[in-house]
Amino acid sequence: MESYDPKLIEEKWRDFWRKRGFFKARITDTKRKFYYLNMFPYPSGKLHAGHGRNYILGDAITRFLIMRGYNILNPMGWDAFGLPAENAAIEQGVHPRDWTWRNIQEFKRQFRAWGVEYDWDREIATCEPEYYRWTQWLFLKLYQRGLAYRAEADVNFCPDCDTVLANEQVVAGRCERCGAPVQRRKLVQWFFRITAYAQRLLDDLEKLTGWPERVRLMQRNWIGRSEGARVTFRAEQGDPIEVFTTRPDTLWGVTFLVLAPEHPLVDRLTSPDRRKEVERYREFAARQTEVERLSTEREKTGVPIGAYAENPVNGSRIPIWIADYVLMTYGTGAVMGVPAHDERDFQFALKFGLPVIPVIAPPGGVAKSYLRGGAFREGLPAALKEAGFGVEEEGGSLRVTLSEGEKERYISLVQGYLKPGSWTGVVGAGWQLVFPDRVLNVGSLEEERAALRACQELDPGLGDVRTIAQLLWGVEFYRDLLFHADYGEMINSGPLSGTPGGEAIRRTISWLEARGFGRHEVTYRLRDWLVSRQRYWGAPIPMIHCPRCGVVPVPEEELPVLLPEVPFIGKKGLADIPEFVETTCPRCGGPAKRDTDTMDTFVDSSWYFLRYISPKDDRRPFDPELVNRWLPVDLYVGGVEHAILHLLYSRFITKALYDMGYISFDEPFRRLFTQGMITYPAYRCPTHHWIPPSQVEEGRCPHCGAELEVQVLAMSKSKKNVVSPDELIERYGADTERLYTLFMGPPERDIEWSEEGVRGAWRFLTRLWGLVLGQLPRIREAREPVDPQALDEEGKGLWRKLHLTIKKATEEFEGRLGVNTVIASLMELTGALSGYLERGPGDPRLVRAVIRNLILLLSPFTPFICEELWSRLGEGKSVLETPWPEYDVAALQVGEVEIPVQINGKVRARLRLASDVASDPRKLEEAALSAQAVQARLSGKEVKRVIAVPGKLVSIVAR
RNA sequence: GCGAAGGUGGCGGAAUUGGCAGACGCGCUGGCCUUAGGAGCCAGUGCCGUAAGGCGUGCGGGUUCGAAUCCCGCCCUUCGCACCA
């Protein structure tokens, strides 16, 4: 028999689908439209097997949808601007466009080899003037609407990439792309006002029910809404100092203010004697890289600026400090220090000797008291125990743990035993210092000072201790109660003392608002999107700087602002090219300079899904009428790595265009599916860096024999751990690679590539090929429909299996996309067919029906072999013109079912029962109890209870 | 530290609604074929046990006739955020 030779058959079909136009969208017909979209790639180098996760899955889904009769829009394009092209240009002297288009040709060749098809008439590349003209148009529209602005700001600058970065492109203080520590620089840059949409971007996440919860959560966290109050403190000089806090209920516990070192008030408020030190500290803070500044385990630093402010709620005089743990870019750049209820403030206060005033009762109401040996008279331990307090004795000292409401009774008892000149503390809801003759509360700054003085008078050894907090911190026993961030009843809070925790924030805010001390406020972690890049290979920002008119937008009809054609690209990008810079002002006609920044490539990709609808339209960015009919995208598939950046920006741009009236939808992607990455071992040699797995010999470097470090990582060219589709296709064919890629596991999960697994897919296809070819002569003409009633038992079983498989496949494609399980069930069906044929020749009509459907169901995964077998079956039309199989509910019915019988929770028998018996609880119970195997098990036992689940099982409880 | 997802054979994974745990594939074992096999085909394969049987979904508890699935506590892994006031 002719053996399976994918090389022979695949090439034959490679252009077939394209030529027949199956993947061409009928753009004006939107009755049964489906917009399927894969995230478009950055064309760098070649595709590897890991990329298949996205494109092969997409191809399978669209093939399914075509067979389901949908009018599919499945376009592909190129996110073609960006640094690698520019770096290649600088290094190799090629023009970035040539480099890019070479890669694009390579990608297209590989898509064709994979059998991954698109509507290529709609191909776009963001680096082409026909496209970036409209990216520039978008910029102008945002500018007109006040959503694009230029401002001086502290920005993230990557010294290796020679450009600024968006906040989203900084990961743990390092450049997302190259890993270099990011520097902070003050530069004038262009921003998009995404923060104006923070609340809507957050609220509308609720609407995105077709998105993975994980992605929605990541966006929610990134937007970082926090609700609280803005409170105005007043410096002694009179300047108001605005502070944002989520815990206005702790205002009475403020013992200091901290400003960010860059805070504009620092200069004005710093006292002359502190100026030198303040300047030193500010320089120190500015020198810190983001990485250093953010490192978690770092000790708090800061300096007082010699100024004081007044706490509006109680008039306390509190010192003002600067410290780099306060960020100028969040909130107001100033925070109130409440060391009793904020961990950072607590560390800061402890280190710098700032007082701590508890103002929120801890949860549970516990309190603790510690008595040093020698501080009390004999008999106290016994008296405490008799009174029912929890007491631990150790080396003569006492540790008392008090539960709620015991404090007063304890204090009066212990006072009677304290020796003169001794004291003890009670730490719980508030702190008290108990002396023989009095009790001092630590409820305000004055009280705290008084209490400290009292202790120091009695014990001159405490001269170095600067606060009660430091004093109490010295006692290990108290430590876990000195600070807590929980909500609770307000204490030591003047008029609001006693407010329960649940109402504390709300009531404090109304109290503040009534007195004009502050107001309710919401802040976001999200910052405006920095879109300027100081590079060549991007869309030029269409703005002109005129010495007379200021910043002037390029008139729309003059777009695009073309990238200058230059033989050499300097490191400074457009600023290096005088012909580009020098221009005339569109407003006054005088000499002016072009803006030399290009746009972040995320701007290019934040609207491309609109362009696919009318990619060649040279009058407008998109056809609004058609865009409104085709969008939102019905299914968008891409990697999770874009969960924040690309997806958040696209949502923002969509909302902005919606507000401007260009489109009638305000979310771009109805359903989002994030596929996992394919991983593979990556080997690293200490001297020779990454070694391709194929060159590794017994875990050693081929160059120096050194032991290699192995990590299983996402396939990536830079780590040399890629598997080449070209080689796979050469050895096994595209169908095998496709099948294995989709079978290896659930598409949303990261999975390690396995060479052996590929062989498994190959074996399956070989078997299928042999099976079908072997049956071909006898089923070729057996075209009459199957008569299910006429089938024997085996035949009925196979018939049912077929329909179960159709049901399974259809539901997965339409639901959670568990294509791995669809393939598993197709393998089962193939196995069932083999089994059926082993028992005898079988019914040729049934065999033909199973084979026919098997080919159709498998075709989205392995289109080449299926198209070939289909044509040999003599079906006439192509697979893609044939409707997807429908299952017959009647065929799912079974005459006989196997029902397990559990006795005391264990399966003890399996009964074959007619389905009408199995579906009737009473008959089922009867059948189970009378079965011999069950009877044997039940002898000598009393049946307590029988649960009969129709069609499922019987559970018997017996003693 | 906070948040989320996850933990099932030797491995990837299945069990979608509380109802037969381990589908399907890999690997492994045995056999066939072969000059040979890193090819192919057939059979077996959760663990312990000769067997009867027992034990099994990270660990400990709970709910239930019945739990991989629900609840409580803990451990581990991965991801995201991380001095965000």
Confidence of residue A286 (pLDDT cuts 50, 70, 90): confident
Q: What is the pLDDT of residue A456?
A: 92
Q: Strand A672-675 and strand A635-639: pairing?
A: parallel
- Least confident piece of the model among A164-173, A329-338, A727-736: A164-173
Highest mean pLDDT out of A492-501, A837-846, A921-930: A492-501
pLDDT digits (tens, 9 = 90+) for A853-906: 999 999 999 999 999 999 999 888 899 999 999 998 887 877 777 778 888 777
Q: What distance in Å separates the CA atoms of residue A884 and residue A813, rounded to the nearest whole number?
A: 11
| Spatial separation of the C-alpha atoms in residues A141 and A35, rounded to whole Å | 26
Q: What is the DSSP letter of A122?
A: G
Q: What percent of chain A has pLDDT over 70?
A: 99
* Spacing of A121 CA from B28 C1' in Å: 51
Amino acid A633 CA to nucleotide B69 C1' distance, rounded Å: 34
Closest Cα partner for A376 from A312, A445, A434, A330? A434
Closest alpha carbon to C1' of B15, residue: A821
Choose the weakest-confidence range: A173-177, A422-426, A437-441, A557-561. Answer: A173-177
Checking if the pLDDT of A276 tops 80, the result is: yes
Predicted local distance difference test score (pLDDT) of residue A157: 83
Q: Is residue A161 over pLDDT 80?
A: no
Q: Which residues contact A152 (CB under 8 A, 6 or more apart)?
A: A186, A187, A188, A189
Hey, which of A129-138, A287-296, A492-501, A915-924 has the most confident mean pLDDT? A129-138
What is the ipTM score, two decimals? Answer: 0.94
The whole-angstrom separation of Cα A376 and Cα A379 is 9
Span CA (A748) to C1' (B70), Å: 25
**What mean pLDDT do residues A691-703 have?**
82
Q: Is it the case that residue A153 has pLDDT exceeding 90? A: no
Phi, psi values for residue A461, rounded to 5°: -65, -15
Residues of A (508-547) placing their beta carbon closer than 7 angstroms to any atom of strand B are 523, 525
Task: Output phi, psi for A140, to 5 deg.
Answer: -60, -40
Question: Is the pLDDT score of A774 beyond 80?
Answer: yes
Q: Note the CA–C1' distance, A937 to B53, in angstroms.
A: 14
User: Containing H/E element for A510?
Assistant: helix A501-515
At A502 the pLDDT is 87
Please state, in angstroms and rounded to a whole number, the distance separating the CA atoms of residues A575 and A582. Answer: 10
**Inter-residue contact A306 to A273 (CB < 8 Å):** yes
Q: Which residue is nearest to nucleotide B40 (CA to C1')?
A: A763
Asked whether strand B has any atom less than 7 Å from the CB of A764, the reply is yes
Read off the pLDDT of residues A777-791 as tens digits, 9 standing for 90 and up. 888 888 888 888 888
Q: Which nucleotide is nearest to A171 (CA to C1')?
A: B81
d(CA A410, CA A831): 80
Residue A582 φ then ψ, to 5°: -75, 125
Q: How many CA atoms lie within 13 A of A855 on its CB side?
A: 26
Strand B within 7 A of A298 CB: yes
**Relative orientation angle of helices A734-743 and A52-67, to the nearest 10 degrees:** 100
What is d(CA A481, CA A368) in angstroms, rounded to the nearest whole number?
A: 8
Cβ proximity of A284 and A293 under 8 Å: no
The answer to whether A289 CB sits below 7 Å from nucleic acid chain B is: no
Task: Kindly report the three-state secondary structure assignment for every residue of A480-491.
Answer: HHCCCCCCCCEC
**C-beta pairs of A269-275 under 8 Å, 24+ apart in sequence:** A269/A235, A269/A237, A269/A239, A269/A305, A269/A307, A269/A320, A270/A305, A270/A306, A270/A307, A271/A305, A271/A306, A271/A307, A272/A306, A273/A306, A274/A303, A274/A304, A274/A305, A274/A306
Positions 861-920 of A with beta carbon below 7 A from strand B are 898, 900, 902, 904-907, 910
Report the candidate in A615, A17, A118 with the shortest Cα–Cα distance to residue A110: A118
3-state secondary structure (DSSP) of residue A540? strand
A751 is near strand B: CB distance < 7 Å: yes
A925 touches strand B (CB under 7 A): no
pLDDT, position A293: 62
Report the candidate in A814, A703, A628 with the shortest Cα–Cα distance to residue A65: A814
Question: Residues 344-363 of A near strand B (Cβ < 7 Å)?
Answer: 344
Residue A86's Cβ-count burial label (10 Å; 0-12, 13-18, 19+) is buried
First CA to last CA distance, chain A: 63
Q: What values do phi and psi take at A13, rounded to 5?
A: -100, -10
Question: Does residue A172 approach strand B to less than 7 Å at its CB?
Answer: yes
- Which positions 783-842 on chain A have a beta carbon less than 7 angstroms from any atom of strand B? 808, 811-812, 815-816, 818, 820-821, 823-824, 827-828, 831, 834
pLDDT in tens, A536-595: 899 999 999 999 999 999 999 998 999 998 776 666 678 888 889 999 999 999 999 999
Q: A827 Cβ partners below 8 Å, 6+ apart?
A: A764
**pTM for this structure?**
0.91
- Give strand letter and number of the nucleotide nearest A898 (CA to C1'): B20
The whole-number pLDDT of residue A540 equals 96
pLDDT at A900: 80
- What angle in degrees, to the nearest 10, is found between the helix axes of A6-13 and A734-743? 90
Bases of chain B below 7 A from a protein C-beta are: 3-5, 12-16, 19-21, 23-27, 39-42, 54, 65-67, 79-85
Mean pLDDT of A746-759: 91
Averaged pLDDT for residues A506-513:
94
- Mean pLDDT value across residues A610-629: 96
Whole-number mean pLDDT of chain A?
A: 90
Residue A224: which nucleotide is closest by CA–C1'?
B84
Which residues from 233-252 of A have any strand B atom under 7 Å from their CB? 244-247
Tokens describing residue A865: 């072999």
For the stretch A469-496, what's the b/e string if a residue is b when 16 or more beta carbons lie within 10 angstroms of its beta carbon?
bbbbbebebbeebbbbeebbbbbbbeeb
In angstroms, how far is B78 C1' from A84 CA?
30
Residues whose CB is less than 8 angstroms from the CB of residue A939 and which lie 6 or more positions away in sequence, other chains included: none
**A244 has pLDDT over 90:** yes
Pure H helices in A700-754 = 725-731, 734-743
Q: How far is CA A905 from CA A188, A933, A938, A955, A957, in A?
A: 72, 16, 13, 7, 8
DSSP category for residue A899: E
* Strand B–CB A766 distance below 7 A: yes
Query: What count of other Cβ atoms lies within 10 Å of the Cβ of residue A281?
Result: 21
* Confidence grade of residue A297 (pLDDT, cut at 50, 70, 90): low
Question: Given this model, what pLDDT does residue A569 score?
Answer: 66
Mean predicted confidence (pLDDT) in A366-388: 90
Cβ of A947 less than 7 A from strand B: yes
| pLDDT score, position A637 | 94
Does the structure show a pLDDT above 80 at A169?
A: no
User: Residue holding tokens 């602002």?
Assistant: A561
* Contact predicate A722/A679, CB 8 Å: no
Structure tokens at A662: 């260009």
Which pLDDT score, from 0 to 100, does residue A219 have?
A: 93
Tokens of A905: 């929770």
**pLDDT on residue A570:** 63
pLDDT for the residue A291 = 61
Distance of CA A712 to the CA centre of its chain: 21
What is the pLDDT at residue A510? 95
The CA–C1' separation of A3 and B40, in angstroms, is 12
A296 pLDDT higher than 60: no
For the cut 80, the answer to whether the pLDDT of residue A687 exceeds it is: yes
Average pLDDT over residues A187-200: 93
Query: What residues form DSSP beta bridges with A583?
Result: A592
A793, burial (CB in 10 Å: exposed 0-12, middle 13-18, buried 19+):
exposed
Strand ranges of the sheet holding A672-675, from the earlier edge strand across to the other edge: A71-73, A33-38, A635-639, A672-675
Tell whether the model's pLDDT for residue A294 goes beyond 80: no
Nearest residue (Cα to C1') for B79? A214
Strand-strand pairing, A397-402 and A367-371: antiparallel
List the structure tokens of A382: 């016994």
How does residue A369 score in pLDDT terms, banded at 50, 70 and 90? very high
Among the ranges given (A450-464, A494-508, A730-744, A898-912), the one the predictor scored with the smallest mean pLDDT: A898-912
The DSSP call for residue A40 is: P
Torsions phi, psi of A910, nearest 5? Answer: -125, 125
Answer yes or no: are the C-beta atoms of A255 and A445 closer than 8 Å.
yes
Which percentage of chain A shows pLDDT scores above 90? 63
* C-beta separation of A35 from A634 below 8 A: yes
Whole-number pLDDT of residue A421: 87
With a CB cutoff of 8 Å and minimum separation 6, the contacts of A437 are: A415
Nucleotide nearest to A763 (CA to C1'): B40
